[in-house]
Amino acid sequence: MNAGKLLSYIILAIVVIAFVVSIALKGFLVTVGAFLTLFIFSFLYKDNPYYKFAEHLFVGASAAYWMSMGFWKTMVPNLFGKLYPPMVAWAVPALKNNPAQPLMLIPLVLGILLLMRLSSKAGWISRWALAFIVGTTAGLNLVRYLRSDFIQQINNTVFSLYVTNASGFDLGATISNVIIFGGVICGLIYFFFSKEHKGAFGAGARTGIIVLMITFGASFGYTVMARISLLVGRMQFLFGDWLGMIR
């Protein structure tokens, strides 16, 4: 037996002993949570069997979780419950007296068409269902983006560059407004695809990328503390809920 293998057996033994001791002292459920937490953290060192175990368990269980969520929260009340309420009355008694809605046959048929793609011959028919979903969203997107991402943003940028306050001309606010105005224009220039970034246009595009980079930095910095607080949360779980060292 080589040294590497021996070491991994020793680690396995330690993990198993710690697991058993933890169950005896702290109970089964919190122990499972704590060990899975540690398994995931172990990835920071390198890929290892414990991470692989947690990862694979997570993938399988989460896929099934959303599957059953979808079934009970969507299919039962919104499909079966509307198609033929008595069918699901035992699960959702509130639906019992609702009228049946034959129109709900359409998503049922489209859903089955979608599943046809598992067949190699009739797979193409699943595109009908797909076309339905893509079409719905495309129509929605067209008007939604036009309003919120185009007209609304332009409207927000139409303001007075010359700002006054109670004591007269406000230099700081005026400079800020000029920079917002210039920043938006230069940012837009940067996103021009069909014109070469040369001359004055090129200078605009370069200013645009400078403003973009400052923004990316700001956004990055803004997120750091939020991410660290997630780690604080996990540490609280390990040292508080599990080990009981902090309260």
Partner 1 sequence: MKRRVPLAMVFIVSLFMVIQYFVPLDSLAWMYQYLLDWTIIIGVFALLLGIWSLWHVSYGKIKQRAENWQYSIVTLAGLFIMIISGFIPGWGNLNNYVYEHLFYYVLVPIQATMFSLLAFFISSAAFRAFRARSILASLLLFAGLVIMLRFVPMGPVSTVVADLAGWILRVPNMAAKRAIIIGIGLGAMATAFKIMFGIERSYLGRD
Partner 2 sequence: MKDRLKLVVFLTVIAFIIQATVAFAQSEGETADSVISEQPVTPPPKPVIVSGEDIPNDNGHKLKLNWEYPAEWNDSIVRFEIYRADSPDGDFRRLGEAAGGIFSYLDIGSKKKDDPNYMPNDQNLYYRVDAVSKSGVTVQSEIGGPFQTSGQWFHKGKVPVLIGVVLFAIFTIYFIRSARKGKDLYIRPLAGIEAVDEAIGRATEMGKPILYVLGIGGASDIATIASFTILGRVAKKVAEYQTALTVPCYDPIVMSVAQDVVRSAYLEAGRPDQYSDDLVFFVTNAQFAYVAGINGIMVRDLPATNFYLGYFAAESLILAETGNSIGAIQIAGTDQITQIPFFVVACDYTLIGEELYAASAYLGRDPLLLGALKAEDWGKAIAMVLIIVGVLATAFGWDAFREFLRVNL
In the region spanning residues 63 to 102, those forming contacts with partner 1, defined by CB under 8 A, are 63-76, 78-79, 90-91
> Residue 108 is encoded by which pair of tokens?
């049922």
Residue 12 binds which entry of partner 1, partner 2, none, CB below 5-8 Å type-dependent: none
Residue 47 binds which entry of partner 1, partner 2, none, CB below 5-8 Å type-dependent: partner 2
Instruction: State how far the Cα of 149 lies from the Cα of 191, in Å rounded to an integer.
Output: 15
Question: Using H for helix, E for strand and C for coil, what is the string for 41-104?
Answer: HHHHCCCCHHHHHHHHHHHHHHHHHHHHHHHHHHHHHHHHHHHCHHHHCCCCHHHCCCCCCHHH
Candidate segments 13-21, 27-35, 84-92, 157-165, binder of partner 2 by CB under 8 A: 157-165
Residue 164: how many other CB atoms lie within 10 Å: 11
Which of 11, 151, 179, 203 is in the footprint of partner 2 by CB under 8 A? 151
What phi, psi does 161 have (nearest 5°)? -75, -25
Binding flag, residue 225, partner 2 (CB under 8 A): yes
Residue 88: how many other CB atoms lie within 10 Å: 20
Interface with partner 2 by CB under 8 A: which residues?
40, 43, 46-47, 51-52, 54-56, 58-60, 62-63, 65-66, 114, 117, 126, 130, 133-134, 136-138, 141-143, 146-147, 150-155, 157-162, 181, 184-185, 188-189, 191-197, 212-213, 215-217, 219-220, 223-225, 228-229, 231-232, 235
